[in-house]
């Protein structure tokens, strides 16, 4: 007689771990314990053997556990009892994990000496354990960022395997998971480290993560980095040009064709970590309207902050004969670009913006241009009232460290896996603006087939009430949607479909559409 399988949404209460799950967990924890013990200056010799053994044991533990947990399960996504587990439903162990992750990020950003980083001698502790691996790849001693990058990559690749097992029934999920694993391992970790081997007395390139694009790499246009690019010859100039083109040309084109998913779900390391290591916490995202309003205001405020900060930093070093572009010409270019974007939006897309979005856009635009005007008039010396370095350091501390690291990852078990992407990531906000207003990407719905099970809403890590769109038969076009496609993967009726089609009629009316009346939908879409 076959074993009874509960296919309900809620499922059964969690079962005890079987023998293989316990052994695989123990194997992974043993690998972690080697790193922890090294932090107490326990000498593991030879280090290259022990650090390799530690990383292999962690990966093998994750791989083994994932295969045992998901290899025998019926294809299709259920909740896997996440609502009954303390770790995945804001229970005691969730808060413990949150405290551990938060503490790790605080030490990493502000107290790296606690894990063995030395500025005037040999490293000790955890950092010293990773020294042989760092020297083998880059030729340099390890830093806290190399340790972090290694563990970050291990998490994406290891839990990516888990994701592949869990979502093996869906080709789209497998492809984008392979994509984030590839870009993190190759372009975000190995290639930048290997490039450092090119550096010498006559040639020096700054560390360049090809996955990060401005404004995520807000430091990319600081003076010392620009000087290094220029001094490095054709290679450096090429990287600098690529950085500019990625902002003005590459990103808009790809977003127009594929939506923000090309980056947020296929390339970005933050998104990769959220999708893989954070998959068990995606259902914790706040779906309330108040959270949505906070998200809109907070993330766009961060965008304005990073634009102001970057403009001030670049302007601070352009008024010399060293560069072909003058500070005045740069400010005029920034003001002109912002004016063109604002004018185009207000003329052609204002009907697609809610009133608070219109007022916010007008307010931010007026404030920025007013500050630039006051500077040109001679009434204020500084472009944005503060020194450029003050703006940069404040942004780096508040957004780059606290928000993206401590809160963005440390609070996975409490607020969900995309808290940084929703509330703080300026790149997500910029891509979301493009996606909302002129991208081909959308998620279409077949309202007549929706059974209101709520799987789509529960699994949406961005806090979107997908079911409300599905019930109405409306296209889902939201700035916050990262196009991960999980909502379509967990739908038992095939109601949701990711599409790239003409932007004409892409954003539906707010009227409630009952059933699956295609003629009515066409009428609404083409006669607004």
Alpha carbon distance 50, 44 (integer Å): 6
Q: Which pLDDT does position 372 carry in this prediction?
A: 72
pLDDT tier at 4, thresholds 50, 70, 90 = low
**Local structure of 276: helix, strand or coil:** helix
Whether 227 contacts 323, CB under 8 Å: no
Alpha carbon distance 415, 409 (integer Å): 10
DSSP character at residue 476 = B
Q: Which pLDDT does position 513 carry in this prediction?
A: 43
Domain boundaries 440-526, corresponding CATH code: 3.30.70.20
Ranges in the chain annotated CATH 3.30.70.20: 440-526
Q: Which residue has the tokens 């604002």?
A: 342
Position 355 pLDDT exceeds 70: no
Let me know the angle formed at the C-alpha of 114 by 112 and 119, rounded to the nearest 5 degrees: 55
Position 32 pLDDT exceeds 90: yes
Distances (CA, A) of 275 to 43, 55, 68, 272: 35, 21, 20, 5
Copy the structure tokens of residue 332: 């005029």
Distances (CA, A) of 328 to 64, 312, 334, 458, 502: 59, 12, 10, 50, 40
Q: What is the mean pLDDT of residues 191-216?
A: 85
Q: Which pLDDT does position 323 carry in this prediction?
A: 82
Q: Which pLDDT does position 2 carry in this prediction?
A: 45
Q: Average pLDDT, whole number, for the chain?
A: 84
* pLDDT tens column, 392-423: 889 888 888 888 888 888 899 999 999 999 99
Burial 173-184 (b: 16+ CB within 10 A, else e): beebbebbbbbb
pLDDT tier at 14, thresholds 50, 70, 90 = low
Which of the residue ranges 36-50, 76-90, 280-294, 488-502 would you say has the lowest mean pLDDT?
Answer: 76-90
Position 170 pLDDT exceeds 70: yes
Distances (CA, A) of 153 to 120, 158, 405, 412, 496: 28, 8, 15, 17, 31
């Amino acid at each position: 007689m076959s074993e009874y399988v509960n296919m309900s949404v809620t499922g059964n209460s969690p079962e005890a771990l079987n023998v293989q799950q316990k052994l695989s967990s123990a194997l992974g924890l043993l690998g972690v314990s080697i790193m922890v013990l090294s932090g107490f200056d326990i000498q593991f010799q030879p280090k290259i053997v022990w650090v390799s053994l530690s990383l292999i044991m962690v990966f093998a533990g994750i791989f083994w556990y994932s295969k045992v947990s998901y290899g025998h399960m019926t294809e299709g996504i259920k909740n896997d009892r996440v609502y009954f587990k303390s770790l995945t439903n804001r229970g005691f162990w969730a808060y413990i994990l949150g405290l551990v992750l938060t503490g790790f990020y605080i030490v990493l950003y502000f107290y790296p000496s606690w894990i063995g980083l030395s500025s005037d001698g040999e490293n000790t502790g955890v950092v010293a354990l990773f020294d042989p691996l760092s020297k083998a790849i880059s030729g340099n001693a390890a830093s806290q960022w190399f340790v972090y990058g290694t563990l970050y990559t291990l998490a994406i690749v290891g839990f990516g395997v888990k994701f592949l097992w869990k979502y093996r029934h869906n080709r789209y999920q497998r492809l984008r998971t392979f994509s984030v694993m590839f870009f993190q391992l190759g372009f975000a970790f190995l290639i930048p480290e290997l490039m450092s081997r090119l550096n010498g007395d006559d040639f020096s390139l700054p560390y360049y993560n090809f996955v990060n694009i401005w404004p995520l790499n807000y430091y990319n246009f600081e003076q010392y980095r620009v000087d290094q690019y220029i001094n490095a010859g054709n290679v450096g100039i090429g990287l600098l040009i690529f950085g500019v083109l990625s902002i003005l040309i590459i990103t808009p084109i790809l977003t127009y064709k594929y939506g923000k998913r090309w980056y947020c779900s296929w390339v970005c390391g933050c998104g990769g970590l959220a999708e893989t290591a954070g998959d068990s916490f995606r259902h914790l995202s706040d779906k309330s309207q108040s959270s949505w309003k906070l998200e809109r205001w907070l993330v766009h405020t961060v965008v304005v902050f990073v634009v102001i900060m970057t403009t001030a930093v670049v302007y601070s070093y352009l008024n010399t004969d060293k560069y072909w572009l003058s500070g005045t010409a740069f400010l005029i270019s920034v003001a002109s670009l912002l004016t063109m974007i604002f004018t185009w939006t207000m003329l052609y897309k204002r009907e697609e913006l809610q009133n608070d979005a219109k007022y916010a856009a007008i307010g931010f635009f007026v404030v920025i241009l007013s500050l630039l005007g006051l500077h040109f008039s001679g009434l204020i010396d500084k472009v944005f009232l503060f020194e450029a370095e003050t703006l940069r350091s404040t942004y780096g501390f508040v957004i780059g460290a606290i928000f993206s690291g401590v809160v963005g990852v440390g609070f996975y078990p409490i607020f969900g896996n995309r808290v940084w992407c929703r509330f703080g990531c300026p790149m997500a906000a910029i891509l979301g603006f493009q996606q909302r207003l002129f991208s081909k990407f959308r998620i279409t719905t077949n309202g007549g087939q929706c059974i209101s099970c709520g799987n789509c809403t529960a699994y949406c890590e961005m806090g979107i009430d997908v079911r409300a769109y599905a019930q109405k038969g409306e296209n889902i076009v939201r700035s916050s949607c990262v196009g991960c496609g999980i909502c379509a993967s967990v739908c038992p009726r095939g109601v949701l479909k990711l599409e790239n089609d003409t932007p004409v009629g892409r954003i539906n009316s707010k009227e409630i559409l009952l059933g699956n009346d295609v003629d009515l939908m066409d009428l609404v879409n083409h006669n607004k």
